Structure formats: C-alpha cells, structure tokens
Structure 1
Amino acid sequence: MTDWETIRYEVDDEVATVTVDRPDKLNSLNVATLEALQDAIAQAEDDDVRALVLTGAGEKAFIAGADISYMKDLDTPEAQAYAELGHDVARSLETFPAPTIAAVNGYAFGGGCELALACDLRVAAENAVFGQTEIDLGIVPGWGGTQRLPRLVNDEVARRLILFGDRIDATDAHEYGMVGEVVAHDQLDARIDDLTADLAAQPKFAVAAAKEAINAAHETSLESGLTYEKRVFSGLFGTHDQREGMDAFVNKRDPEFE
C-alpha cells in the first residue's frame, strides 16, 4: 500500500483502488490532492492492474468538487493552470489502459462529477447525488463536463444540468444514462468487487483494445473509427488470449487468459 497525504492507494488481486481521503472537506480537490491523484493513477499503470476504482472516503461524499476556498482568488492564468491539471487527471482516467470505475458513494458535484464522467463505468449508491453545479459559482465546468456530459446523456439533459446547476439523485442519474447501475449504499463495495473480479478475468489486451476503440468513437469520424476498429481487431489475432479464447470455445471449455 502506498500513501499520499490526501489519497489512499491499494492494490488487491490486480485491482487498484484510489480513494480521495479528505472527508472533512467532502473530498474536494485542491492542487495537492489533484497532483497526488495523478501520481496514484500513474502508479496503478506502473503496477499493470486490470481495473482501477475511484472513490471517496467517508459516508457523505464521492468527490464534492474542486476546492472553492482555493479557487475563489485565482486570476485567469492560475485558473488556466488549475483547469489543465483537472483535465490531465480526467484524461488519465479516460485513457488508462484498463477499465476505470467510479464508485460513487455520495456527493459528486462539479469536478467530482467530471472525474466520474471520465471513468469507463459508474456505479452509484442510493444516496449519491450528482451535479454540474459550477453555474452557481459564476463559472462553467472546467474539467471536461461540457464535453463529456452531452456525449453521455442527451443534449437537452446536459444543457439543463449545466445551465441550471441542478442536483439529481442516483435514480435520476441512472434514468438519464449518467450511471450504469444503482445499488444500496451498504452493497456498493460488494458490487464493485464483483465487477472488478469479472473485469480482471477478461482477456487483458482485448479489454484494453476495446476501450481504445470505444474512446475513438467519441473523437473521430465514423469512417476513421471503423478503420481504427478493423486495425485493433486484426491486431489481436496471434495473441495468446485470442488463440486460447477461440480454442476454448471450439473445445467447449473455459478459457485461461493471461
């Protein structure tokens, strides 16, 4: 286990869990915490894990947003640097070479909502509350919310959430497509364990390739995306997992992936 002052990092059965550990501040993200979070994600990549879970400490918050007490006196260049740091963290989750899961155990506002949006999957406890609440502060989302949210929910929903700063509960977030499932608060850890165990058992290179191809769908034209998919598909042939998976299917046995 590796420790930073405001981030907890653990690896178990090839699954990394990164916990923002500022419960007295509702796990809000100041510069030091963002930098530690970036380091922890990089450590997980070095550890070659098969899945990464992002969550928050305590009973109230996942990540309640950026640290407003830090932001309130920033000038434009300082705000730009802060935005770039938040974007870097979000992008590192989005491009992480294994699936990332946001275990949303409470408030996910502002930057916290944006980091959840950057993950591949989102599982919310029943008490979770989501919101792109920056408009209430006289600003707009600065860590990807204006771009990722409309890609995840329909355009009208995204505009309402951003323009009004509405808070929505886990049930509505699921209905809008912001989260994949909602579970009882005391079942969140068990559900995350089930998901990560299933992901860890999947063929590693194929999962990474699938994630890259899905990401490409949001970043390129359809024609370019289809070309990319063909390249990724064919590139997996000849790998151990492709040979093993297909041989296991033909011979009616369970595969043993690397």
Structure 2
Amino acid sequence: MSYPLPLPQSHPLLTVSKPNETIWQIELHNGDDSRLTRQLLEEAFLPALDVVEKDWRKALKSGRGDAALVIVGNTKQDKFFSNGLDYENAIKDPTFRKEVFNPWIKRLLTFPIPTICAINGHAFAAGFLLSLCCDYRVMTSGRAWCCFNEVHFGAPLPPPFAQIIKVKLVDPRLVRKCALEGHRFVPRELEAAGVVDRLVDGKSSDVLAAAVEFAKSREALAKGQVWGKIKEELYREVIVAIDEGRNVERPAKL
C-alpha cells in the first residue's frame, strides 16, 4: 500500500498515512470541523479502516504483528476534532443510520488493533461518540468541549449512543451528566474521570505527536490477534443495539 492515501480520491475527505512501520494514522479533513457526512463515512472512513486492517494482516503473515491506529481531526486548525453529523442531511436520509452510521460505529468500536483518538479541539455529539468508540483518548489541554447535546433539543438518544455512553463512561453520575444534562466537559474533567488518558499542551501537531507516542506504548497488544474479539464481548450491549436495528421515531439532533 502506498501512503499517504487520500479517500475518496476524487474528493479527499480524509487521509490515511503511516508515520512508522507499526502505526497508521487517519486525519479527517472534511472542512475545518470534520462533519461526519454519509460520503465521509461510506466512501472514506469505512474504506480507510479496511485499508489499515488489510495492511496489518499482511504484516502479520510476515511475522510482524505490532500495530495501532491514531485518528485525528484536521491538523491545519486547532478548534475542532469533529463537529458531529451533518444533521440536516442525515435526517433526510432514511437509510443513513441503519446502512452507514451504525455499521461504522460497530466497525470502529471492535477494530482489531488499538485505536487512539487525538482530540485536537471540540468534539460534539457524533464527534464525541467517535472519540468514545476508540480505545484511548489523547486530548488538547486547551479550549475544547466534549458533549452530547440531545437533551437540549428535545431529542432521544439512539440506542447505540446510549449504550456507548454507559459502557465508556461507567460512573452513573458521569453518565447522567453527559446524557441527561448535556454537560460540556472540558479536558481536565475528562482526564479526572479517566475518560481521557493524556492531556497535551500545544497545537494540533503536538496532540497528534503525543497520540502517536502513546500508540507506540500499546501497539504490541495487537500481536495476539484477539484485541477485536475481546472488545466484542466487552461491548456486547452496543453491538446488540446495533444489530437489532432499533430506530427512534424522532431523529436525534446530532
């Protein structure tokens, strides 16, 4: 595979690169705020995950199994990691959630190598969800908020969202604050709660560099080839919610 690899090649919305032999990197650049559109997920993000896994499995056959994946927002700015879904178009698309969004959640949540999210700015709604689907989070210590704001719009949480909040935040007080109060968490709160593993001073490039270094400390965990299988058991409630294909009558504002 030749890197860097822009996807889709006709109109790149993300780029897959390989900082070294064992680390892969996905950088979102659907504008400055990296909205999660159907095109981004279907034509870029899901194919990018396939590329990374295929390349890793090829390395395994050669006796090399160390691997990790870092995901970062547009590094040409320091304001956003991801501003969530392209809401207006998402609610007009009756198949988006079932055919694209939910399968993407499941794929990322159970990815077979360690995933590290480099949160280089605000992560709202589905952007925060993206970060929680990763195994580890490295975040800027600067001005950045993470939140689910559905309660402020009178919209219920889709089942996979609710399940991910419960299994990733764990503490009932934290879950309540996140889901029922729509609290905007700042970096220090997330670090203190154990949601973020490391805070980094500086710009997006510094957050990314720290995430790559963190990834190196976890890459050996991929060698056993059971990382994804273990996560399937840990997050069974989320997977069941996705596979059941349950829908809410009123789409959430994401």
TM over 0.5: yes
Looking at structure 2, the residues matched to 181 and 203 of structure 1 have their Cα atoms a distance apart, in angstroms, of 19
Q: Which runs of 5+ in 1 are unaligned?
A: 221-258
Cα deviation for residue 107 of structure 1 reads 0.8
Give CA-to-partner distance per residue, 1:37-86, whole Å, 9 cap, x none.
111111111111711111110211111111123235x2xxx345325522
CA change 1:214–1:31 in 2 (3 A) is closer
5+ residue gaps in structure 2?
60-66, 238-254
Correspondence for 2:166 among 137, 150, 155 = 150
Matched residues in 1 for 2:229 and 2:236: separation?
11
Rate the CA distance shift 1:148–1:11 in 2: closer, same or farther, 3 A.
same
**Structure (1 or 2) with the larger CA radius of gyration:** 1
Would the alpha carbon gap of residues 62 and 142 (structure 1) be closer, same or farther in structure 2, given more than 3 Å must change?
A: farther
Q: Does the residue aligned with 1:98 lie in a helix, a strand or coil? A: coil
Q: Give, in whole Å, the separation in 2 of the partners of 1:2 and 1:53.
A: 15
Distance 1:29 1:204 in 2: 27
Residues 104-143 of structure 1 correspond to what in structure 2 (within 5 A)?
A: 104-127=119-142, 128-142=144-158
Q: 1:169 is matched by which residue type in structure 2? A: V
SS of the counterpart of 1:195? helix
Find runs of 4+ consecutive structure 1 residues off by over 4 angstroms. Answer: none
Retained in 2: the 8 A contact 1:130–1:169? yes
Name which structure has the greater RCO, CA cutoff 8 Å, separation 6+: 2
Aligned residue for 1:2?
A: 5
Q: TM-score of the superposition, structure 1-length normalised? A: 0.74
TM-align CA RMSD: 2.2
Count, aligned residues: 213
Per the alignment, residue 173 of structure 1 pairs with 190
Task: Rate the CA distance shift 1:135–1:103 in 2: closer, same or farther, 3 A.
Answer: same
Give the C-alpha shift of residue 15 in structure 1. 1.4
In structure 1, the partner of 2:250 is none
Q: Which digits, 9 at most, give the CA deviation of each residue in 1:187-215, with x for residues without a partner? A: 31231121222333x26422x42553355
What is the CA-CA distance between 1:18 and the residue it aligns to? Answer: 0.8
* Percent identity for Structure 1 against Structure 2: 23
Q: Distance in 2 between matches of 1:66 and 1:189?
A: 23
Aligned to 2:108: 93
Q: Which residue of 2 aligns with 1:43?
A: 51
Distance in 2, Cα, partners of 1:16 & 1:98: 10
2:86 — aligned with what? 67
Amino acid across the alignment from 1:183 = V
Q: Tell me which residue corresponds to 1:205.
A: 223
1:12 aligns with 2:19: yes
Give the structure with the larger helix fraction.
1
Alignment partners' CA distance in 2, 1:120 and 1:29: 19
- Using structure 2 for the length normalisation, give the TM-score: 0.75
Among 182, 187, 197, the residue aligned to 2:199:
182
Conserved? CA contact 1:83–1:143, under 8 Å: no
